[in-house]
Structure 1
């Protein structure tokens, strides 16, 4: 049974707390579903975020779009701290540090088995938004380094795409090994990511991301290790 299937079953029977966590920890041969529990700042991880991390650990593929920031799985720790600190929920310093470090640890799925295949889009405005220019430069350099990975597709949606090519909020679609046609959708909202499971929501997410068909691939240039070129 997949993480998605187990979640549906546990929700149906109203199983919560430690019993739920014990059952969830038995799922899959990939990364431990509760891999963050032994970290020093595990208590700073909210239940909603813990659910997201558990599903991500079980996912085989992920599609995501963020209109004004680089995708989370491709962020540096410094950039992640800046983005989290700017959140609407005014996180304290401990939550900022915990969130940033967890975001970096999640990136192990990009280089370690079982590899996570990701198709990531971000808005051109992400190249313009940063409180610290050196942090932004480091983030761009990191994205250029990750873009050639065989399991990574990174594209920028230009401002010239207009409204049809831009989403108003972040969206993530996860797919799982035993049910690759369906999945879980997370829509960005105040207070976190809202999960959706129905086929209608999956199709809606697919259509929304497909609107970014004017996006340009990120590729490394040979002239400079921190420069980037974009192709349609």
Structure 2
């Protein structure tokens, strides 16, 4: 695999954004906060804009200036600070994984919970290798077979967050039933294996799967799929919106409407129990 370095900046950006939020909540200008720290204003500006890191002692003092005394908040931000320059496993694929995708994998690896709504595909964290290869190859217009295989490897490696020791990621996935009727002419067993993977993974205590039936009433998910990624406080939630060739991130207060939309989508979908029954029926039908 290509192994050129990638700048692991997403954690530093999130730390800077959170510190800026605390400064604004404290009612301090950039100059006032920098003066309280004995710094020049450009230094604090660079920290907030992820151009420069911050030392652990300085982080502690800066939080005091902002009146943030909760030790749990300090611990979360210190973890973000200390991990800012760590290389993630995905950086070994830097020639394959685009920067926006690398950013999302980094967010995914730090998240406590992800709520995903997918109207057309099985979510990546629940895919089989065969399904990943078939869908990546079908969607892409520029990737070589070797790159498709590498991207499928990345997708499988991402799934380790569901079984990581101590605090596995909590995943709530709502999938439109239409996605489960996809067929692959070159490898007919692909969807049956994928349905079995959904049933097996849904047995994990931290994974919940719901199906949006073909007969559902109108709901906010009709506007398109999205992933709502949630973190320990005070880090803001992040929503990923994807379309052909691009990704858009929505963060903080702007992510709140997606939380409300997800609740409505969840209420419209089949219950968890009925969803598993429906997946089982589809899987059984493909055995015949």
Classify the TM-score, shorter chain. 0.7 to 0.9
The two structures, once aligned, show a CA RMSD in angstroms of: 3.0
Aligned match of 2:83:
27
Q: Is 2:260 the counterpart of 1:204?
A: no
Contact kept, 8 Å, 1:70 with 1:122, in 2: the verdict is yes
Q: Is 2:206 the counterpart of 1:172?
A: no
**Matched residue SS, 1:43:** coil
Summarize the Cα distance change of 1:5–1:166 in structure 2 as closer, same or farther, 3 Å threshold.
closer
Report deviation, 1:130.
Answer: 2.8
Aligned match of 2:182:
129
Report deviation, 1:164.
Answer: 2.0
Q: Which has the higher strand share?
A: 1
1:1-232 alignment runs, 5 A limit: 3=11, 5-6=14-15, 8=17, 12-13=48-49, 15=51, 26-27=82-83, 34-38=88-92, 41-87=93-139, 89-113=141-165, 114-131=167-184, 132-164=187-219, 166-179=221-234, 182-200=236-254, 202-212=255-265, 213-216=267-270, 217=272, 218-219=275-276, 227=284
Summarize the Cα distance change of 1:24–1:206 in structure 2 as closer, same or farther, 3 Å threshold.
closer
Deviates more, 1:4-13 or 1:151-160: 4-13
CA distance in 2, matches of 1:11, 1:97: 38
Summarize the Cα distance change of 1:220–1:42 in structure 2 as closer, same or farther, 3 Å threshold.
farther
| Structure 1 spans left out of the alignment, 5+ residues | 17-22
Report deviation, 1:43.
Answer: 1.5
Deviation per CA, 1:27-59: give whole Å up to 9, x if none. 28xxx6612223xx4311111111111111111
**Matched residue SS, 1:161:** coil
Q: TM-score, normalised by structure 2?
A: 0.65
Summarize the Cα distance change of 1:34–1:25 in structure 2 as closer, same or farther, 3 Å threshold.
farther
When the two structures are aligned, how many residues end up with a matched partner?
A: 212
**Matched residue SS, 2:157:** helix
| Structure 2 spans left out of the alignment, 5+ residues | 1-9, 20-45, 53-78
Q: Which has the higher helix share?
A: 2
CA distance in 1, matches of 2:168, 2:179: 26
Contact kept, 8 Å, 1:68 with 1:123, in 2: the verdict is yes
Contact kept, 8 Å, 2:15 with 2:81, in 1: the verdict is no
Deviates more, 1:60-69 or 1:188-197: 188-197
Q: Which runs of 4+ in 1 moved over 6 A?
A: none
**Matched residue SS, 2:114:** strand
Report deviation, 1:204.
Answer: 1.8
CA distance in 1, matches of 2:51, 2:110: 20
CA distance in 2, matches of 1:99, 1:91: 10
CA distance in 1, matches of 2:48, 2:146: 34
Report deviation, 1:101.
Answer: 0.9
